[in-house]
Structure 1
Amino acid sequence: MNPTRLQRLRSELVGQQIDAFLVPRGDEYQNEYVPAADERLAWLTGFTGSAGLAALARDRNALFVDGRYTLQAAQEIGSQPIEQQSLSAADIANWLCDALNEGDTLGYDPRLHTEPALAPLKKRLTECGILLRPLDDNPIDRIWENRPASPNGVACPHPHTFTGEDSASKRQRIAQLLTDKKQDALWLANPEVCAWLFNIRGSDIPHLPVALSMGFLYQDGSATLYLADGASSDALRQHLGREVELVSDKPQLFAAAERQHVQKVWADPLLTNCWTLQQLRNREMHLLLERDPITGAKARKNAVELAGSRAAHVRDGAALCEFLAELPKAVQQENFGELEAVQLLRSKRELREGFTDDSFDSISGYRGNGAIVHYRVSPESSLPMKAEGIYLIDSGGQYPDGTTDVTRTVALGAFPAPAKEHFTRVLKGHIAIATLRFPIGTCGEQIDAFARKSLWDAGLDYAHGTGHGVGSFLSVHEGPQRIGKAATNVALEAGMIVSNEPGFYLTDEYGIRIENLIFVKESADYPGFLEFEDLTLAPIDRHLIEPTLLSDSELEWLNRYHRKVREALLPLVNEQTQEWLQAATKPIARGEVL
C-alpha cells in the first residue's frame, strides 16, 4: 500500500468524519474486469487480482483475497503494513469489529457494493455498535491524481450471423417474463446484460467486448439504454430501432422510467449496486429482487452461438499448437521468459481470423510461478525459462463468434518425479468430468467431486472451482452456472458452456492445470440425461502422463480426444507444427513408457 496514498486517504477520511473505509475491486457495474479509471484497489494496494477488498481502519490495514490469490497477494503486498486475510464476509466483519471501536463509522461507496454482499457485514457490525455510512463521493477519486478518464468507445451492432436471434425477438421474449411476473420494467444492471439483449458489443473494458451501459426493459418490449456520450452512431441507432431510446446521462434513465409510469421494477440484487436500488426506492418504485432472467437466457447458447464457438475454438487451437510447437526451441534462447511466452502466443492468435483481444490476462507460470493459481506475469516477475521444469499457460481469445479459455501444462525437459503422478491424477479428474452423464436438474456442485476424487485418493486437492461459465464473445467468466464446492442451486442446462479445469499446485515447485471448455447437451441415448462435449482442441502433454494410473476407458478417451485434435488442426497449422502435432497426439498404448 503506497504510504503517501494511504496517508492522503486517511486525511480524506478524517475530513469526512469516517473511521474506516472499504475499497472493493469492482466498479459500479459489478464487472470482473474494470476500466483503468476504476482500478482503485490496485492503485491503493498494488494488488492486481480480479477479486479482493481492502479495509482501512484507524491504525490497521487489511487486504482480503480468496485462495486463488494467496500467493500473488503476498508477492504484490511485499513488506507493506497490510494484513492478508481470507475473502469471506465473516472474516471481513470480524476484522473490522476488532479494528474499530463501538460508535465508529465505516464508510463505503454505495455504487461499488451490492446489498446482499453488505448484508452479513452490516449485521455483524451493528452488533458491534459500528455504523455503516454510504458516501456521496468516493474519497479515493478525490485524491487520485492523473486518474485515467472513463472509457467512451463506440458501441457496435453484433450481427445476427453470430447471435442467432435479433434484439427485438430477445426483448419480446424477456418482456413476456415481465408480464408473467406482473412487473412494469426490468433493470438492466450491467454491460453484459445489455450487450446480449441489444446485440451490441464495444471496447470499454479490457478483455470484455462491451460498451459501458445500463438501462430499462419495459413490459411492451421497448427499452431505455444508457450509453456514454459519443458511444452511439447512426449505424447503432438504426440497429436498435425506434423502440430503444438512447440516453447519455444516467439520471435520465430514471426519468424515462417515470415517463413510462413504471411502478414495479425487477432488479437483480447480485448485479445492481446499492446506489441504484436507492434511486428506485426514492421514486417509490416497488422492487422485485430476484435473479435477472437475462443471465440464464444468455448462458443457454443457441445453435448459432454453439456453432460459432466450435469454429472459434478450431482457429484458437491452431494458434495454441503453433505456440506449443515453437516453445521447446524458444526456451533455448537467451532472454526468453514467461513474458516473452505470452507475447509469442499473442502473436499466433493475432494471425487467426477475427481475433480481437485476449479473453483475460494470460497466466504464464514457469516452475514455482505456475503454483500461483492466478499469477499475472510482469516485467519484474517474469522468470527466464529453460529446457527443464514445468510450465503452465492459461490463456484465451476473443473472437466475434466465440470466447476461448484453455490451460495446458507442459514439460520443457527434465522435471521433478512427483509431477507425473500429480499430472495424471489431474487428468483423471478432467476425464471424469468430460465423460460424465447426469440427470436433468443436476447442479455444478453435485458433480464437482468427480474432478477431485483421484486427487482426494492421494490426500490432495486444489483451492479453486472446477469450472465457470463462458460467454459468446462476452465474458470469459459468466454465470449463473459453475462447477465447484460452493452451492449455486443452478442446474446445468443444454447449451451452457463451462470450463473443465481441475489442477494441483506444489508451492515453489510447479503448477498443474488441464482446462478445456465444454458445453452441455442432451444425451442421445438416455432421455432425461445430459452430458458434455469438448470445444477446446489442443494436445495434452504425453510426457507428463503415467499410463499405468489410467484405466482402459480413460486411455480410450485420451486417444480419441487426441485423434479429434489432430484431424481438426493438421490442415490449419504450419509444416513445423504439423510434425509436432503428429507426435503430440500419437496414441498411447497400455504399458507404454512415456
Structure 2
Amino acid sequence: MSEASIRALQDLLGQHGLQGFLIPRCDEYQNEYVPAADERLAWLTGFTGSAGLAAITTRGSALFVDGRYTLQAEQQIAEQPLALENLSPPDIANWLCDTLNEGDTLGFDPRLHTEPGLAPLKKRLQECGIALQPTENNLVDSLWIDRPETPAGAARPHPMCFTGEDATSKRQRIAQLIAAKNQDALWLPNPEVCAWLFNIRGDDIPHLPVALSMGALYSDGSATLYLADNAISDTLRQHLGAEVELVTEKSDLFKAAERRHLQQVWTDPSLTNCWTLQALRNLEIKLLLERDPITSAKACKNSVELEGSRAAHIRDGAALCEFLAELPEAVKGTKFGELEAVQLLRSKREQREGFTDDSFDSISGYRGNGAIVHYRVTPESSLSMAPEGIYLIDSGGQYPDGTTDVTRTVALGPVPSQARDHFTRVLKGHIAIATLKFPVGTCGEQIDALARRALWDAGLDYAHGTGHGVGSFLSVHEGPQRIGKANTNVALEAGMIVSNEPGFYLTGEYGIRIENLILAKQAENYPGFLEFETLTLAPIDRQLVEPLLLSDSELGWLNDYHQKVRETLLPLVNEPTREWLQHATLPIAAE
C-alpha cells in the first residue's frame, strides 16, 4: 500500500495492452464484507471503507467513494496520487472519459463485476471510443506479494430451532418457483443464498457467518453445492442428504451443468459476476436474468426466526446497557478512547449467550469523528474521550438466533442547544417511521421523506439511506428491501426486518444517529395495512432531547419505549447498570 504500488500498477498496464484498470472493493461473490485476500482496494490505496472503486490509468488515477466515506477517504489516501471523486456511475464514467483517450482500453477483472454494474459505464465509454476489456487475471494480485490465502473453514449445519424450516423444504419450495419459470435450474452465486437454502453457516468472512460457497438448485429440488474440501465433514454430508451433490472445485459446477444437459438457467445478474455468466453462456445455456427468488424468500422471516430475533435483541440490549452505564466513568480516565470503547462493548457482548462476532466493524466516533458517517476507528485515529462532547456508537452482534444493529448517540457532558435541536429533529424522524401505518404494497422510498421531514424543516439532511434490511444470522445489510431516496420498487412485506436510522452530521463537531431495528407486520385493526414493531431495546439519551420540539404523541412514544426497555432489561443487567437504567428511562414530562 503505497504510491510505489500505484506506480507499479501503472507500469504493468502497458504490458497488457491497457491504459487503465478498475479495482472495486468486493470479491467474486459480490459480498459486502470480504476476506482479507480480496481487500485489493485497501491494499492499493489505504482506503478501508466498505464501498469504493479505484481507477488506475496511465494518465492519472482516482478513488471513488460515496457520501458516507468522503472524510474517511480524505484522511486515508493522504498524499497518494489519487483524485477523490464521487462513487456514482455517471461520475465514474465522466472521469474516465475525461482522463482516457479515444482508442484506449480499460481493463477489469470479470470475477469482481456484474453486468448491470458495468452497463452504464460500458455505454458511456463506448460513446467516447474507449473499450472495456476483461482480463484473465487480476493485475493487482501479481503485485501483492504477501496476499493472504483465501479462507476455507468448516461449514456447519444451522439447526431447525433457529431456521424454522428444514433445508429439504426450502429446496422444494424454491424448486417449484424454478419450474414455474420453465427453468432447469437456479444458479446460486454467493454464500448468503447458499447459507439460507441449505441451512449452513461458517466463518470464512468477517462479520458474515457463512462458508464460501456457490452452487445450482435444479427444478426437481436436487442441487450441486461447491465448498472447499476443508469445509466438508461427515456431519455436513449427513445434514445435506443424498439429494445435494458436493463438489470441491468450482469448475465441477459447470461440469454438472453439462452432465445434466441444462438448457435454461435462472440467475440473478446483480449477484452473479460477469465471468460466471460468460462461462454459462459458453455452455450454450439460455439465461433468465431476474432477481434471485431466495433473496425475497429469506427477507421475510418466519415465526421461529422472528422470535429468535426478539430474543437476540434482548440479550444484545442488556450488553449495550452495561456498556452505556460504564461509559461516563470510563471517559474520566486518561487512557480511554474510541478504540477502548469498542473493546469494552465487545467484552459486554461476549458475555451474552450465543454471541459469535460483531455484525460489522463498530463505528465509534467522538466529536468530529462521529461526523464521518461510516468511520472505522484505528489505533492511529482513535481520539481520547473526556466527560464532554458527543459520542456516537453504531454496532451490532451476530447470534445464532438473530443479527442486531443499533446506534446510540450520547452526551458525555453539557451540550449546546444547537446539538439538542439537531438530535431532537433526528428523533422526530425516527419516531415518524416507528409509528407509521402504511398500505400493503408500499415501498421504502415512499416513506423515506417522513424520516427527514423535521430536518428538512430546518434546511438539514443526511447523505445515507434511512433503513436497510437485516438477515437472520446472516448479513447485517440484506436486500431487497430498504428505506431511502433511491427507487427500489420493492414493497415492504410482513416479516421483513429493516433498520430505522435517520441522522445528522456537523463536520468537525459531532455526528447524530438513532438506529433501531424494526419489523414489518400486519397492522392491528387496519386490514390491508402494515405497521412496525421495534425490536431494539436500549435507552435513547434523554440529555439530548429538547421536549419542546416533540409533540404529545412523540413524547408518549419515547416514554412508552423507555418503559418497555426498563421492564425488559432490568432483570438481565448487572447491579450497577440497574440504577443507571432506571434513571436513563425516566419519563420526560411535557413542557
- What TM-score range do you get, normalising by the shorter chain? over 0.9
Any idea what SS the aligned residue of 1:452 has?
helix
1:217 alignment counterpart: 217
CA contact (8 A) 2:3 2:81 kept: no
Between the aligned partners of 1:574 and 1:587, the Cα distance in structure 2 is 22
Aligned length: 591
2:300 alignment counterpart: 300
Matched, 1:397 2:397: yes
CA contact (8 A) 1:354 1:399 kept: yes
Matched, 1:377 2:391: no
TM-score of the aligned structures, taking structure 1 as reference length? 0.99
Between the aligned partners of 2:414 and 2:549, the Cα distance in structure 1 is 20
**After superposition, what is the alpha-carbon deviation per residue over 1:199-219, rounded to whole angstroms, capped at 9, x for unaligned?**
000000000000000000000
**After superposition, what is the alpha-carbon deviation per residue over 1:311-355, rounded to whole angstroms, capped at 9, x for unaligned?**
000000000000000000000011100000000000000000000
**Which residue identity is paired with 2:399?**
Y
1:76 alignment counterpart: 76
Any idea what SS the aligned residue of 1:504 has?
strand
Aligned residue runs from structure 1 range 162-177, under 5 A: 162-177=162-177
Aligned residue runs from structure 1 range 410-559, under 5 A: 410-559=410-559
Aligned residue runs from structure 1 range 134-153, under 5 A: 134-153=134-153
Between the aligned partners of 1:83 and 1:415, the Cα distance in structure 2 is 37
Between the aligned partners of 1:59 and 1:349, the Cα distance in structure 2 is 49
Any idea what SS the aligned residue of 2:68 has?
helix
1:93 alignment counterpart: 93
Between the aligned partners of 1:101 and 1:484, the Cα distance in structure 2 is 37
Any idea what SS the aligned residue of 1:170 has?
helix
Between the aligned partners of 1:16 and 1:586, the Cα distance in structure 2 is 67
CA contact (8 A) 2:9 2:56 kept: no
2:195 alignment counterpart: 195
**Which residue identity is paired with 2:219?**
Q
Between the aligned partners of 2:424 and 2:241, the Cα distance in structure 1 is 54
TM-score of the aligned structures, taking structure 2 as reference length? 1.00
1:321 alignment counterpart: 321
2:407 alignment counterpart: 407
| 1:414 Cα deviation after fit | 1.7
**Which residue identity is paired with 2:174?**
I
Between the aligned partners of 1:304 and 1:248, the Cα distance in structure 2 is 32
| 1:415 Cα deviation after fit | 2.0
Between the aligned partners of 1:81 and 1:106, the Cα distance in structure 2 is 19
Between the aligned partners of 2:56 and 2:565, the Cα distance in structure 1 is 51
Any idea what SS the aligned residue of 2:231 has?
coil
**After superposition, what is the alpha-carbon deviation per residue over 1:18-41, rounded to whole angstroms, capped at 9, x for unaligned?**
110000001000000000000000
Between the aligned partners of 1:532 and 1:75, the Cα distance in structure 2 is 39
2:331 alignment counterpart: 331
Moved over 2 A (4+): none
CA contact (8 A) 1:58 1:99 kept: no
Any idea what SS the aligned residue of 1:68 has?
coil
**Which residue identity is paired with 1:363?**
I
Q: Give me the CA root mean square deviation.
A: 0.6
2:269 alignment counterpart: 269
CA contact (8 A) 1:335 1:384 kept: yes
Between the aligned partners of 1:342 and 1:50, the Cα distance in structure 2 is 18
| 1:356 Cα deviation after fit | 0.2
Any idea what SS the aligned residue of 2:392 has?
strand
Between the aligned partners of 1:143 and 1:10, the Cα distance in structure 2 is 11
2:38 alignment counterpart: 38
| 1:12 Cα deviation after fit | 1.9
1:127 alignment counterpart: 127
| Range with greater deviation from structure 2 (4-13 or 213-222) | 4-13
| 1:420 Cα deviation after fit | 0.2
| Range with greater deviation from structure 2 (45-54 or 1-10) | 1-10
Matched, 1:15 2:10: no
CA contact (8 A) 1:309 1:401 kept: yes
Q: Provide structure 1 residue ranges, at least 5 long, that are not aligned to the other structure.
A: none
Between the aligned partners of 1:492 and 1:468, the Cα distance in structure 2 is 11
Between the aligned partners of 1:422 and 1:11, the Cα distance in structure 2 is 50
CA contact (8 A) 2:359 2:475 kept: yes
| 1:15 Cα deviation after fit | 1.0
Any idea what SS the aligned residue of 2:495 has?
coil
CA contact (8 A) 2:13 2:58 kept: no
1:361 alignment counterpart: 361
% identical equivalent positions:
77
2:246 alignment counterpart: 246
Matched, 1:565 2:565: yes
1:116 alignment counterpart: 116
CA contact (8 A) 2:444 2:491 kept: yes
Between the aligned partners of 1:323 and 1:170, the Cα distance in structure 2 is 39
| 1:6 Cα deviation after fit | 1.1
| 1:196 Cα deviation after fit | 0.1
CA contact (8 A) 1:339 1:377 kept: yes
Between the aligned partners of 1:183 and 1:223, the Cα distance in structure 2 is 14
Any idea what SS the aligned residue of 1:67 has?
coil
Matched, 1:27 2:27: yes
Between the aligned partners of 1:258 and 1:579, the Cα distance in structure 2 is 66
Between the aligned partners of 2:549 and 2:377, the Cα distance in structure 1 is 33
Any idea what SS the aligned residue of 1:33 has?
coil
| 1:417 Cα deviation after fit | 2.6
Any idea what SS the aligned residue of 2:316 has?
helix
CA contact (8 A) 1:389 1:416 kept: no
Between the aligned partners of 1:25 and 1:571, the Cα distance in structure 2 is 44
Between the aligned partners of 1:519 and 1:502, the Cα distance in structure 2 is 17
**Which residue identity is paired with 2:109?**
D
**Which residue identity is paired with 2:36?**
A
1:575 alignment counterpart: 575
Any idea what SS the aligned residue of 2:329 has?
helix
Any idea what SS the aligned residue of 1:133 has?
strand
**After superposition, what is the alpha-carbon deviation per residue over 1:164-205, rounded to whole angstroms, capped at 9, x for unaligned?**
000000000000001110000000010000000000000000
**Which residue identity is paired with 1:227?**
L
| Range with greater deviation from structure 2 (273-282 or 254-263) | 254-263
